[in-house]
């Protein structure tokens, strides 16, 4: 008996051992989804199906990413190095890709990442340069609006004054050798479009892709996943099995509903046993 699998229930074990193709795991709170994801990675590496650097594990917070890394480190047992797994948030992974390919992405290697305060300052300058009323176009509001546009990914069209502000803001970012949080994933998508050789390299590298909290993915993140998985087709997504919270999370419910269309013949595994609240 594989010691990694000894403490898993039937559904968890199925999710871990179904290594090939696309898999959708639906889970409620306290059902051990992080345990399933990390055990699945360790199982893949122990079987020699991939090297650690060929595994991409994505989540939405640094806290969750660190938890996954710590658990992987405990599971490694010297057989492989957990630090080589590409484990992190969507933004940290895409930032790593941008840093490694900055010249091809139209950036200097020492490009800066601007936060909300810097974005507000830049937008204030942009709005005034366009001779617009700062009260009618508050920079703080436009930080959110521009982020929302970038979350739509490649192919989303805008026009009118929104486009003027958006284009002028991005031009100023480029002049300052900077990116904002929202554009990091968009820049990688644009890089993949303009440099097929770079896309091919990452598609071949990432033999196994795992996604935590899949219900939170926006269009740009979904486009990134779809681009990376095309070569090997091995993707495991864990999602909350409760559609009522999707709109509250500002999530794109279509990514869950269309999962089996994007990845035909996908097995759906439900984790129903709640270990956190046993009653």
- Measured in whole angstroms, the distance separating CA 33 from the mean position of its chain's CA atoms is 17
Task: Quick: pLDDT tens for 211-226.
Answer: 998 888 899 999 999 9
Question: For residue 244, what pLDDT band results from cuts at 50, 70 and 90?
Answer: very low
Q: What is the pLDDT of residues 31-53, one digit of tens each?
A: 888 999 999 999 999 999 999 99
**pLDDT at residue 253, as a whole number:** 65
Provide the pLDDT for residue 30.
76
Share of residues in the chain with pLDDT > 90 (%): 75
Place 248 in a pLDDT band, splitting at 50, 70 and 90: very low
- pLDDT one-digit tens code per residue, 156-186: 899 999 999 999 999 999 999 999 999 999 9
Per-residue pLDDT averaged across 178-206, rounded?
Answer: 96
CA dihedral 269, 260, 89, 203 (to 10 degrees): 120
pLDDT at 13 over 80: yes
Position with higher pLDDT, 245 vs 47: 47
Which band of pLDDT confidence, cut at 50, 70 and 90, is reported for residue 242? low
- Contact (CB, 8 A) for 89 and 131: no
Q: Is this structure's pTM higher than 0.85? A: yes
pLDDT for position 277: 66
pLDDT at 41 (0 to 100)? 97
Q: Tell me what the pLDDT averaged over the chain comes to.
A: 90
Using one digit for the tens of pLDDT, what is the confidence trace for 139-162?
999 999 999 999 999 988 999 999
Residue 272 pLDDT? 85
Q: Note the pLDDT of residue 46.
A: 94
pLDDT, greater one: 76 or 201: 201
Task: Check pLDDT > 70 for residue 135.
Answer: yes
């Amino acid at each position: 008996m594989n010691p990694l699998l000894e403490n898993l229930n039937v559904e968890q074990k199925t999710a871990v051992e179904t290594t090939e193709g696309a898999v959708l795991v639906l889970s409620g709170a306290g059902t051990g989804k992080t345990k399933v994801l990390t055990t699945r990675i360790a199982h893949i590496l122990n079987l020699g199906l991939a090297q650690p650097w060929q595994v991409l594990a994505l989540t939405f917070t640094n806290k969750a990413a660190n938890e996954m890394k710590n658990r992987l480190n405990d599971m490694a047992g010297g057989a492989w190095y957990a630090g080589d797994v590409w484990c992190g948030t969507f933004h940290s992974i895409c930032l790593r890709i941008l840093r490694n390919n900055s010249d091809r992405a139209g950036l200097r290697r020492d490009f800066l990442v601007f936060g909300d305060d810097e974005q507000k300052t830049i937008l204030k300058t942009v709005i005034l340069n366009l001779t617009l009323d700062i009260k009618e176009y508050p920079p703080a509001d436009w930080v959110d609006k521009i982020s929302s546009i970038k979350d739509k990914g490649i192919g989303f069209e805008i026009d009118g004054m929104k486009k003027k502000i958006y284009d002028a803001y991005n031009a100023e970012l480029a002049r300052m050798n900077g990116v904002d949080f929202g554009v990091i994933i968009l820049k990688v998508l644009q890089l993949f479009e303009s440099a097929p050789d770079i896309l091919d390299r990452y598609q071949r590298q990432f033999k196994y892709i795992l996604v935590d909290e899949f219900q939170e993915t926006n269009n740009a993140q979904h486009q990134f996943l779809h681009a990376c998985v095309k070569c090997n087709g091995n993707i495991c997504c864990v999602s909350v099995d409760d559609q009522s919270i999707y709109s509250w999370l500002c999530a794109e419910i279509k990514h869950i509903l269309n999962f089996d269309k994007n990845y035909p013949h996908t097995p759906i595994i439900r984790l129903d046993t709640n270990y956190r609240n046993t009653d």
